[in-house]
Amino acid sequence: MNKIKIAVLVSGGGTNLQALIDAEKSGIINSGKISLVLSDNANAYALTRANNAGIKTKVVLLKNCENKSDFEQKIINELKDNNIELIVLAGFMKILSKNFTNTFKDRIINVHPSLIPSFCGEGFYGLKVHEAALEKGVKVTGATVHIVNEIPDGGKILVQKAVDVLEGDTPEILQKRVMEQAEWIILPKATEILSKKLLGKE
């Protein structure tokens, strides 16, 4: 069966990557195949997860590049060399330029740990998102998978899932709940939706 070739871009532990790997194994992701895991951090545990799953890995370090556009070009070359058709950002800590997002227009998705348009945009990442949600006193937060364009968290929304904020939540507790109850569910779901669409099965 023809499948869309997926690259997952990571910077850290790779819990969302693990959710994608598990979803492919269980058949939730059926129209795509994770063919490459690329990291901008040689020590990312996500690379170990990829190796354990038998997925090809690649590391591109900014410090080994002349500048940011050279760094992005090296990533683009890797993606093209591996015939990648869909890119999933799973905790990738670099903001991508317009040149990059236009090269893979409507083929890059990202998971953001809030219900966009709340607590998103430049500077909102990781625990900062959950700190802001708690500070605001919202009763419901969640996660969003969206298409990536040149505006941070600005692309078309694909899937959202709400998560309750509970009494006594800390940013860390809330982060874990949002991951378990939203991110790990909707990222594989959105990956399958887009893979199917790219295969022309929609």
Q: Is the pLDDT of residue 34 over 80?
A: yes
What pLDDT was estimated at residue 95? 87
Buried b (16+ CB within 10 A) or exposed e, 35-60: bbbbbbbeebbbbebbeebebebbeb
What's the whole-number mean pLDDT along residues 16-44?
97
State the chain's mean pLDDT as an integer: 96
Which residue matches tokens 């740990």? Answer: 113
Q: Is the pLDDT of residue 55 over 90?
A: yes
Q: Is the pLDDT of residue 201 over 70?
A: no
Taking the model in full, what pTM does it have?
0.94
Provide the residue range defining the domain that includes 109.
4-198
Tally of structural domains, the chain: 1
Which of 49, 74, 107, 112 is the catalytic position? Answer: 112
C-alpha closest to that of 129 among 141, 147, 145: 141
Tell me the pLDDT tens digit for each residue of 116-152: 999 999 889 889 999 999 999 999 999 999 999 989 8
What's the whole-number mean pLDDT along residues 59-88?
96
Question: In CATH, what number is assigned to the domain containing residue 118?
Answer: 3.40.50.170
What pLDDT was estimated at residue 1? 75
What percent of the chain has pLDDT above 90?
93
Q: With left for phi above 0 and alpha for psi between -120 and 50, is residue 119 left, alpha or beta? A: left
Tell me the pLDDT tens digit for each residue of 169-196: 999 999 999 999 999 999 999 999 999 9
For residue 77, what are its two tokens? 């070359």
pLDDT band for 24, please (50, 70, 90 cuts): very high
Q: Tell me if residue 146 is catalytic.
A: no
